[in-house]
Amino acid sequence: MRVATTSVGPVTDRDIQERTINVIRGFSMDAPQRANSGHPGTAMALAPLAYTLFTRIMRYDASAPTWPNRDRFVLSGGHASILQYALLHLCGFGLERSDLEDFRQWGSLTPGHPELHHTPGVEVTTGPLGQGFANAVGMALAEHSLRATFGSQLFDHHTFVICGDGDLEEGLSHEAASLAGHLGLGKLVAIYDDNHISIDGPTELALSDDAAARFRACGWNVVEAGEIAEDVDALEAVIRSVLAVEDKPSLIILRSHIGYPSPKYTDTAHAHGNPLGAEEISATKALLGMPDESFWEPDDVVAHMRAAGLRGSDARVRWEVLREGWSENREALDAALAGTGLPGWQDALPRFEVGQSIATRNAGKKILNALLPFVPSLIGGGADLTGNCGVEIDGTGPFSLTDRTSRQIHFGIREHAMGSVMNGMAAHGGVLPFGGTFFIFSDYMRPAVRLAALSDLHVIYSWTHDSVGVGEDGPTHQPIEQLASLRAMPKLRIIRPADANETVDAWRIAIERGGPTALILSRQNLPVLEGTGRVGDVDRGAYVLRATDGEPDVVLIGTGSEVQLCMQAAQELAESGVAARVVSMPSWDLFLEQDDDYQLSVLGEEIPRVSVEAGSTFGWSLWAEANVGIDHFGASAPGAELMEKFGMNVANVLEHVRAVLED
């Protein structure tokens, strides 16, 4: 049984259609004016397009906004959020007129830019330009993967994204468009609002790209629609013409006029980011034949749009019945939609023998491959560093135009796009994306990582080559400040495991818990330490790895590859009569979640502490009086030699211990 796309067909009451578009334009003017803040112009110009999408094209059910087989809508230019809020209100997603009146105000459901999990019907958090466009690529990728895995009866929908000049100027759009074209992500429809206006003025000040040629070169199906922004029938026809394209993403280039039909501000930069003013709003409403009334919405317009909001309800009900009776790979389907593993999946986790020497990135690969059969939602790869970063899937080819069932994605040298595409995949649901690159290149991913944290998206980063231990590649490839800077990011869970067994638990936590998790893994081999295999220790962020008889004289706190140095130093101190407790602290974030009693039981009270980590010491004063670290850039030399030269050795740890004990 195939779930058909429903359609209400062309609207026969042209008066209702025209007045509905005018109501959307009215909201687009009134809300920024009331807030004295906002971007009315784009929303005014695109009111007919949004109307067409929500009443004639998209399949969705406003009464069930998270129905898995709905079409996805992304407003990449999130500054035009009032356009999306107007449609969500009129179509019955739960936004009230009062929410529009509270636009951009404290506690409202209508913030300045759309936020996932905050406003019903918003699919992704947009605003930083280019992100929404790349998120849409991830959504389309997820749809193709799920359709190939579970069949078109369950997953068969489109992703629509409205983007503008700002989105396409950002470098991220180049990365994402290139990947989407290479993978042939059909059922992705991008509509480029080519309005020729930016904040500074005409886009010609800084932009002369041939967007059509650029996207064709990237393998997209391109339609240059021209001056049809006011023609609903023409808009519907051009959008429907690309819906059947399944082997290429489609770009529709639409020439619009920002601020239309404002007599004073049409085609001006003022309309981009400034309220029009009461006088100009009145003049514009007079042109539209609207009453000069704020937030005007006649009952028949609301009724018309509420009916459109339920246009996919029959398809949604049929889908739910189909899923309820689904028997083929049912456990895998349920696990994928829940973003978790099959029952008992944790039993597949490997354990490593004490004394074994293995880089945590290589341990990560063994763990990932052990989990793949039991966590059906896992899908991902690396930014041209797949094997290096422990995200290579054994015995499989790449996800491609000819193989949508593969769970191995080659993102190419596109770290920023990888992060943003992962966000779109996670926001889509049904998949749990992972992505790997060198830790230093997390800098390229940072905007997407921040949005993953802000949006609480379930993604996993495998960031490897985590210190100057990278070696000969030199300071350009050796992370120093990355850990400290990323620890400052709210809601990003960072785990830097000491060895292979801590890496096992790090992967388990990344799957079990929502939100983004960053695994910070070593290039070099690390010994598997005694005591790191206890399940639950990593969950608490820090734990006592080596205890003392009675109260310790000093507490050594290490993370990652430096925990072994703490263990060696503690042994030498014991031989000289100094009792040293060793604490492994793989995750500040998880440790900060623990209560004060547990934290004191690990760190002790009024006991000198020394931290040891091969990176910036910034922030370590929270935990320790003395800090062994690296507060300068690295150098090109073998990794072991750099560790020695930069004081990441037992002798330097002992020197810091003696100094803190003397104090």
Residue spans of beta strands (DSSP E) within 341-459: 357-358, 378-382, 408-410, 432-438
Please give the angle made by the CA atoms of 199, 111 and 121, to the nearest 5 degrees: 110
Q: How far is CA 307 from the centre of its chain?
A: 33
DSSP character for 71? P
Active-site residue, selected from the candidate residues 415, 502, 562, 613:
415
User: Coil, strand or helix: which one is 126?
Assistant: coil
Strand (E) or helix (H) holding 526: strand 526-527
Q: What CA–CA distance (Å, rounded) separates 367 from 394?
A: 12
Q: How far is CA 388 from the centre of its chain?
A: 23
Place of tokens 């609480």: 456
Q: What CA–CA distance (Å, rounded) separates 564 from 582?
A: 10
Whether 328 is catalytic:
no
Angstrom CA distances, 627 to 231, 556, 563, 618, 630, stand at: 66, 10, 14, 9, 9
* Cis-peptide, bond into residue 608, ω within 30° of zero: no
Sign of the Cα torsion 609, 613, 618, 619 reads: negative
Instruction: Give the number of C-alpha atoms closer than 13 A to the C-alpha of residue 291, restricted to the C-beta side.
Output: 6
End-to-end CA distance of the chain: 77
**What tokens does 380 get?**
């991902």
The three-state (H, E, C) secondary structure of 318-340, written as one string: HHHHHHHCCCCCHHHHHHHHHCC
Are 434 and 462 spatial neighbours (Cβ–Cβ below 8 Å)? yes
Crossing angle for the helix pair 415-428 and 171-183, to the nearest 10 degrees: 70
Are 177 and 238 spatial neighbours (Cβ–Cβ below 8 Å)? no
Say which residues have a Cβ less than 8 Å from residue 235's Cβ, sequence separation at least 6.
48, 49, 52, 225, 228, 229, 254
Say which residues have a Cβ less than 8 Å from residue 559's Cβ, sequence separation at least 6.
496, 498, 584, 585, 586, 612, 613
**What tokens does 301 get?**
């317009």
Q: Which of 288, 259, 285, 286 is nearest to 39 (CA)?
A: 259
Q: Which of 569, 543, 565 is nearest to 661 (CA)?
A: 569
Q: Is 658 exposed, middle or buried (0-12, 13-18, 19+ CB in 10 A)?
A: middle
Place of tokens 């060696």: 568
User: 452 — phi, psi (to 5°)?
Assistant: -65, -40
Are 250 and 181 spatial neighbours (Cβ–Cβ below 8 Å)? no
Residue 278's CB is within 10 A of a number of other CB atoms, namely 13
Q: How far is CA 10 from the centre of its chain?
A: 36
Sheet holding 221-226, edge to edge: 72-75, 159-164, 188-194, 250-255, 221-226
**What tokens does 608 get?**
């000198």
Q: What CA–CA distance (Å, rounded) separates 188 from 186?
A: 5
Q: What CA–CA distance (Å, rounded) separates 517 from 364?
A: 14
Active-site amino acid positions: 415
